[in-house]
Amino acid sequence: MGKIWIPGMMPIELLLILATTFFVFVGVGWLLKTQNRSIPKFGQAILIWLTAFVILKFVLYPPIPSALMKTYMGLITLVLFLLVSADEESWTDFKRPILKTLAGETPGYRGVRTITLVALPLLAGMGTYNNIVPKFEEPIELRTVHPAPPAAVKVHDLKGGDKTFTLQTAQNPFRVDEDGQYSRDVQQKHVNDNPFDPNASKYMQYVREGGAIFFQNCHFCHGDNLDGRGMFAFAFNPIPANFSDPGTIAQLQETFVFWRVSKGGPGLPREGFPWASAMPPWEQHLTTDEMWKAILFEYWHTGFYPRTWD
Ligand code: HEC
Query: Predicted confidence band at 1 (pLDDT cuts at 50, 70, 90)?
Result: very low
In this predicted structure, what is the pLDDT of residue 262? 93
* pLDDT at 74 > cutoff 80: yes
Reported as a single tens digit per residue, the pLDDT across 238-270 is 889 999 988 889 888 999 999 999 999 888 887
CB-ligand 1 contact for 278 (6 Å cutoff): yes
CB-ligand 1 contact for 146 (6 Å cutoff): yes
CB-ligand 1 contact for 220 (6 Å cutoff): yes
Which residue's CA is the closest to the ligand 1 atom numbered 14?
A: 240
Which residue's CA is the closest to the ligand 1 atom numbered 37?
A: 218
* pLDDT at 2 > cutoff 50: no
CB-ligand 1 contact for 244 (6 Å cutoff): no
Region 60-71: mean pLDDT is: 80
CB-ligand 1 contact for 250 (6 Å cutoff): no
CB-ligand 1 contact for 207 (6 Å cutoff): no
Distance 6 CA to ligand 1 centre (A): 35
CB-ligand 1 contact for 226 (6 Å cutoff): no
For a mutational test of ligand 1's pocket, the pick from 234, 277, 279, i.e. the residue with the most ligand atoms closer than 8 A to its C-beta, is: 279
In this predicted structure, what is the pLDDT of residue 258? 95
Query: Predicted confidence band at 3 (pLDDT cuts at 50, 70, 90)?
Result: very low
Which residue's CA is the closest to the ligand 1 atom numbered 42?
A: 279
Reported as a single tens digit per residue, the pLDDT across 153-164 is 888 765 656 688
**Which of these, 308, 293, 300, lies nearest to 169 by C-alpha position?**
308
Global model pTM greater than 0.75? no
